[in-house]
């Protein structure tokens, strides 16, 4: 009986190898999105916003906002400002990527698109600031 099993062993191994090779090999590369962890730290703690108005065609318009922060921001930091109504809809927005280091307390003017006229100013309820600093590596 042991002799028969020994003679059948090469046949079983060959059959297993043929079955394994008959299955197509698919190589999948998965990006490691979100792999690991890191504390997400805000590049700023506080922000101040001032409104910049202009008169155009005898109408008052909100043209831009000036912002300053309590901490320094490095060159390449991204800042986005959105003026929203009570439903969270964006009325006007502006964004900038810093071309130089911005010191704490230094005002930065961000132009808005579109300028808000009187009707837009009536709808305007809140300002939303998005500040992204340097990339975080894990």
Residue 74 placed within a domain: yes
Map tokens 């060159």 to a residue.
75
Decide if 33 is inside a domain: no
Q: How many CA atoms lie within 13 A of 115 on its CB side?
A: 13
Q: Is 81 inside any structural domain? A: yes
* CATH classification at residue 70: 2.60.40
Q: Is residue 61 part of a domain?
A: yes
24: confidence class by pLDDT, cuts 50, 70, 90: low
Host domain of residue 60: 47-132
SS3 per-residue string spanning 68-125: EECCCECCCCEEEEEEECCCCCEEEEEEEECCCCECCCCCEEEEEEEEECHHHHHHCC
Q: Does 29 reside within a domain?
A: no
Report if pTM > 0.75.
Answer: no
Higher pLDDT, 68 or 15: 68
* pLDDT: which is higher, 16 or 10: 10
What pLDDT is attached to residue 18? 54
Instruction: Please state which of the ranges 12-21, 48-57, 108-117, 122-131 shows the lowest mean pLDDT.
Output: 12-21
Q: How many domains, in total, are found in the chain?
A: 1
pLDDT at 65: 94
Mind listing the pLDDT tens digit for each residue in 53-86? 999 888 899 999 999 999 999 988 999 999 999 9
User: Quick one: CA dihedral 87, 66, 92, 124, positive or negative?
Assistant: positive
């Amino acid at each position: 009986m042991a002799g028969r099993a020994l003679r059948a062993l090469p046949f079983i191994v060959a059959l297993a190898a043929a079955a394994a090779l008959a299955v197509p090999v698919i190589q999948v590369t998965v990006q490691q999105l979100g792999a690991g962890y890191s504390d997400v730290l805000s590049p700023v703690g506080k922000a101040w916003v001032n409104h910049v108005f202009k008169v155009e065609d005898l109408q008052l318009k909100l043209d831009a906002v000036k912002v300053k922060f309590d901490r320094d921001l490095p060159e390449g930091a991204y800042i986005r400002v959105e003026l929203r109504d009570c439903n969270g809809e964006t009325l006007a927005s502006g964004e900038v990527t810093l071309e130089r280091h911005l010191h704490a307390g230094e005002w930065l003017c961000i132009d808005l698109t579109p300028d808000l006229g009187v009707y837009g100013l009536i709808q305007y309820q809140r300002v939303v600031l998005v500040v992204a600093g340097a990339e975080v590596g894990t």
